[in-house]
Structure 1
């Protein structure tokens, strides 16, 4: 036996790589042939020592130890090669055993069909995020049972992957997703009313859930809060919503003034993470909501602000004279679009002052990887 060196070249990187193999010569009816006995990887031994290593390996394969193994460097190289050979040999033997026990049957490919196929990829991401945020523990602190925790994950992940109605979410859970196989509780036969009930339960614990999420997100993405963005929108109900105390007719942003509305308010930080949300009456005036939002910031998000008040960014629909006065009294810095077009009044002033501006550059913030 002898050791052969081969060189391969990566066409993408143009780098060359060396590998070594133990080769055996043998005779056949058609003349002498060679075969690879063992892959050795890339040897660090000098070429002058290859003959000794080949002899040592040949002896080991025959169940003997040669005199060359008294040399430490040769013995270590032989030991490493044999360990790798034994590992690969076990894989080969296992594969042979599996093949010898295999049971084969003929299949008509033209008649093959699939059934109950389920989505998996997005569910893996959603389930991993749920676990990283420790939402089961958060819901447990809110008094949710294990079944309710599993239902909550199904409802939330379902809205992220296939946003639709509660009824459609229930059908998605039963028929289209593999998420049911990842949950700690079997929900494969859950009734549709459970999806409606878990949505109500999540809403009743909204304040505690949002507070817990803010704390967990702050631990995962530690960074200062510099800007909070605040805005409102509304959505409509197709039915009369007579038992919904918040449903009122008003100016619909979706042009559905014929339907009862609710107003949705959201505060997010400059990275897009929600600080908290609020639901108001459908006929609630946007400027009227600001005082409530600022008071909630002081009460619920004091940890995030940590004594350094963030800048509040709003659109001009909220920037009434009274609201600007309120913001100043509470000492929040703010940015708001002017309620009237006044930019033309400052064109000449800007031209004169432009040369005096100081350019401020700041390197991008690199978030730690967890």
Structure 2
């Protein structure tokens, strides 16, 4: 869901409000519908969002925090001076809304207090904790290099006033050194954030999603972790590192680990599970992973430790469930999606019997359940992909066969061309039988035909996928919903790569690379914190629009020339628009009247 800016005119007056909009997919394509109208709090009843105005006790306690700024007393005596109205001017316009909102999020997470405690100031004129906050806020609002942050972004913001750090005290070298100071506290930061977010939003960590991505380097990266491997960014020409991220069911990050760029996903499972258990203790959690993490060794490791899991399985395993696919005992759990529970196939059951009989095993083998899932939309997508690939292969094979008839082509070259064609279209390659013969005069002859028997299996398995679990007390719908939460981990990677510019990495030193990833992780925590606050306030679960809207609030210096020849300089925060004020009210945020920089 997202919010949309709206206006309406009543009694000659233009009123601003927000529409909470939900996107959904209908038979004729994607559609949108308005879920609620969000206006000012005093108009909430008229606009149908009284619930957002009332809130519950948990939400109220979660969003109420002490102000970052001292409130100006309403009883202050006014000062009257004569001002030359024609010479009034505005100077030094800076970004205020974004940095101020980021600091509010940091205060609610108590990150400022934590960093002040673990990062001693030493002999530095600027505390390392303040410099680390600049890195995090810069990554959230305007992600770029440390040089850009110090020279172009920081001077244009209100952070010098909000943090009390003068512009001339912030340069790229100080930011680089702050990365070095921040990195040793990675594990402590993760523990602090897990505890704080858990208490702030009443989060449960009973279901953990784990996924791996990669991010690449530009330039020279001469250290052990930088390796070439499978690139999710389609940049196989660059060195990279792999990042394994663990998130909760709502997408709140719990922790991450960095692996060498040539690390296979399946080899990271044991390390990440033992790391999380060492850090947070071993409890009754359910691990959710995609099929890239699955191996019998990993599942044995999870079972022997008494751990529960829900994992995807390789597509090839579907063949063992052909009989179940043919039966019509599917159960519809939502429109266009059917599931059924199945027992382990014979080969899998035999493996379990052997494991159970093994006297050296510490625990008996846990029975497993397989969940067959069939998606109508996914079947349509798979079918379209296969048909397009099939037509492409057929056209190319016809052209290649005709070329072999007209030209004297070498069989080896034709075989390589056929191999490339089938390798680039793997979905439909199994539907073709292709042979390259050598004629009497040593030239190539291409023969091909379609294997219709395999088309039946392709049609039967279209849109189907298989899940595997040792969780016995959940229903098929609960198991499927838990597995689908893996999209939260995928969304985390997408936001970090696009909105927070995790990639590409320009650092050359290993510690700086690891610190860069840590700063991106912390900025993503701020992003998700804002998302949770938006969701609790009835503003949807997409914080991007809220952050963009409030970032337009500015801090300006208003200069008032007086009759006495003295210029009065008044530092003012721009008045929020009607739409901005609605968002501030919903989030229980109050803009300060006066900025009082903290004492360093």
Counterpart in the other structure of 1:352: 329
Write the distance in 1 (CA, Å) between the matches of 2:210 and 2:167.
Answer: 37
Counterpart in the other structure of 1:320: 295
- Cα offset for 1:222? 2.1
- Cα offset for 1:354? 3.0
Match among 217, 231, 236 for residue 211 of structure 2: 231
Question: Residues 155 and 167 of structure 2 are in contact (CA less than 8 Å); yes or no, is this contact kept in structure 1?
Answer: no
Match among 133, 151, 174 for residue 171 of structure 1: 151
Residues 18-33 of structure 1 correspond to what in structure 2 (within 5 A)? none
Question: Residues 240 and 259 of structure 1 are in contact (CA less than 8 Å); yes or no, is this contact kept in structure 2?
Answer: no
Question: Residues 264 and 280 of structure 1 are in contact (CA less than 8 Å); yes or no, is this contact kept in structure 2?
Answer: yes
Write the distance in 2 (CA, Å) between the matches of 1:281 and 1:228.
Answer: 23
> Does 2:178 match 1:203?
no
CA offsets per residue over residues 49-90 of structure 1, 9 Å max, x none?
Answer: xxxxxxxxxxxxxxxxxxxxxxxxxxxxxxxxxxxxxxxxx9
More relative contact order, 1 or 2 (CA 8 Å, 6+ apart) = 2
- Cα offset for 1:315? 1.2
Distance 1:367 1:246, change over 3 A: same
> Does 2:109 match 1:129?
no
Match among 240, 244, 250 for residue 265 of structure 1: 244
Write the distance in 2 (CA, Å) between the matches of 1:140 and 1:172.
Answer: 26
Counterpart in the other structure of 2:228: 249
- Cα offset for 1:152? 0.7
CA offsets per residue over residues 161-190 of structure 1, 9 Å max, x none?
Answer: 111222222234433211221114435432
Pair member with larger Rg: 1
Counterpart in the other structure of 2:171: 191
Question: Residues 120 and 177 of structure 1 are in contact (CA less than 8 Å); yes or no, is this contact kept in structure 2?
Answer: yes
- Cα offset for 1:330? 1.9
Q: TM-score scaled by structure 2? A: 0.40
Report the secondary structure of 2:294's partner residue.
coil
Question: Residues 142 and 208 of structure 1 are in contact (CA less than 8 Å); yes or no, is this contact kept in structure 2?
Answer: no
Match among 294, 298, 310 for residue 285 of structure 2: 310
> How many pairs does the alignment contain?
267
Question: Residues 123 and 179 of structure 1 are in contact (CA less than 8 Å); yes or no, is this contact kept in structure 2?
Answer: yes
Question: Residues 269 and 275 of structure 1 are in contact (CA less than 8 Å); yes or no, is this contact kept in structure 2?
Answer: yes
Residues 150-161 of structure 1 correspond to what in structure 2 (within 5 A)? 150-161=130-141
Question: Residues 234 and 252 of structure 1 are in contact (CA less than 8 Å); yes or no, is this contact kept in structure 2?
Answer: yes
Report the secondary structure of 1:248's partner residue.
coil
Structural RMSD (CA): 3.4
Report the secondary structure of 1:352's partner residue.
coil
- Unaligned 5+ segments in structure 2 are 1-9, 13-73, 333-339, 342-474, 482-534, 538-586, 589-600
Report the secondary structure of 2:315's partner residue.
coil
> Does 2:83 match 1:106?
no
- Cα offset for 1:121? 1.0
- Unaligned 5+ segments in structure 1 are 1-9, 13-89
- Cα offset for 1:359? 9.1
Distance 1:328 1:237, change over 3 A: same
- Cα offset for 1:139? 1.5
Question: Residues 230 and 265 of structure 1 are in contact (CA less than 8 Å); yes or no, is this contact kept in structure 2?
Answer: yes
Question: Residues 248 and 283 of structure 1 are in contact (CA less than 8 Å); yes or no, is this contact kept in structure 2?
Answer: yes
- Cα offset for 1:247? 0.8
Write the distance in 2 (CA, Å) between the matches of 1:169 and 1:254.
Answer: 25
Report the secondary structure of 1:317's partner residue.
helix
